[in-house]
Amino acid sequence: MNFSQEAEAWTCASCGGKLQLTKVFFSYEKGNFEVDLPACPACDLVLVPESLALGRMAEAERILEDK
């Protein structure tokens, strides 16, 4: 997924800084995942777009829990 345009449109709710596309590491159950997402370089807060949270991440969660 490409969130570079989405990153440019958002600012950090905590410090007001501009978000930048950053490699983010997720761990769930025994799986580790790496995704490029918009994040604040100052606060390390990450924006997980709704489309990703309710789409691909929810699907991956269901698959891992079914195993």
Give tens-digit pLDDT for 17-39: 999 999 988 887 777 888 888 99
pLDDT at residue 1 above 60? no
CA distance 67 to 57: 16
Reported for 57-60, long-range contacts at CB under 8 A and 24+ positions apart, including other chains, are: 60/28, 60/31, 60/33
Q: What is the pLDDT of residue 3?
A: 65
Report which of 1, 57, 58, 13 is spatially closest to residue 21, judged by C-alpha positions: 1
pLDDT at residue 46 above 60? yes
Q: Going by C-beta distance under 8 Å and a sequence separation of 6 or more, which residues neighbour residue 32?
A: 25, 26
pLDDT at residue 16 above 80? yes
The predicted model scores a pTM of: 0.68
Domain architecture of the chain: domains with CATH = 4-66 (3.10.20)
Instruction: Give the largest Cα separation in the chain, rounded.
Output: 41
Q: What is the pLDDT of residue 40?
A: 93
